Amino acid sequence: MKIIMVDAVSLNGKITDSNGQTHTWTSAEDWDEFLRLRDASDVIVMGAATYEAVRPKPDASIRRVVLTHHPEKYQAAAVPEQLEFVTETAQTLVKRLQKAGCKRVMVAGGTEVNSDFLSAGLADELYLTFEPVLLGSGTPLLAERSLQVGLRLQSVRQLNAQGTLLAHYIIDR
């Protein structure tokens, strides 16, 4: 099973602006790339706050797993195999998905989820879109904890005239 991590960041590493927004400063081209990567995955994993920000509808073509300590809060929205709300560590979740035959998992943030997968050495590839913007405050890509992860650049593409860059890395494990 391959696990990819996908995020759009400001040049100083924020995934939201100071109002908790992402789509106000990310580009249409980044969104197209996100959809391309999402459609090539069979599972998307996200934290509860990311789910709340987007509230995607259940969809038979992709399984979404939302990490939360309060799955009971989301009982009405849950649809088995489409939209699940679970309390699991990254390791337990990955083992379960592997057992279920999943081939490609997309980790779609936010901060704690990204950090948990990287700390556990579970992510294989990272797609980072660098938007040409600086954000003074906002949600960081990674939690403030001790972590060092080596990356090997596979490709970098300019997505638009403004200078949005999509970098694809293999994560050292």
Ligand X SMILES: NC(=O)c1ccc[n+]([C@@H]2O[C@H](COP(=O)([O-])OP(=O)(O)OC[C@H]3O[C@@H](n4cnc5c(N)ncnc54)[C@H](OP(=O)(O)O)[C@@H]3O)[C@@H](O)[C@H]2O)c1
Q: Which is nearer to ligand X, 60 or 116 (CB)?
A: 116
Tell which one of 29, 33, 84, 116 touches ligand X (CB under 6 A). 116
Q: Do 85 and 71 meet the contact criterion of CB atoms below 8 Å apart? A: yes
CB of 85 to ligand X, least distance (A): 8
Asked whether the beta carbons of 14 and 135 are under 8 A apart, the reply is: yes
Cβ–Cβ under 8 Å, residues 156 and 126 = no
Choose which of 45, 84, 102, 109 interacts with ligand X (CB under 6 A).
Answer: 109
Task: Provide the minimum distance between the beta carbon of 30 and ligand X in the complex, in angstroms, as a whole number.
Answer: 8
Interface residue with ligand X among 49, 83, 122, 166 (CB under 6 A) is 49
Inter-residue contact 108 to 6 (CB < 8 Å): yes
Residue whose CB is less far from ligand X, 6 or 60: 6
Structural tokens at position 134: 């600086």
Q: Which neighbouring-strand residues pair with 105?
A: 3, 43
Among 19, 55, 70, 99, binds ligand X (CB under 6 A): 70
* Gap between the Cα atoms of 153 and 49, Å rounded: 29
Candidate list 47, 125, 164, 171; residue touching ligand X; CB under 6 A: 47
DSSP H or E stretch at residue 65: strand 63-67
Does residue 27 touch ligand X according to CB under 6 A?
no
Residue 140 DSSP symbol: B
Q: Which is nearer to ligand X, 60 or 70 (CB)?
A: 70
With CB under 6 A as the contact rule, the residue among 41, 68, 115, 164 that binds ligand X is: 68
Q: How far is CA 133 from CA 60, 126, 130, 162, in A?
A: 36, 20, 8, 10
Residues that bind ligand X in the complex, under the rule CB under 6 A:
7-8, 15-16, 20, 22, 46-50, 53, 67-70, 87, 89, 108-113, 116, 139
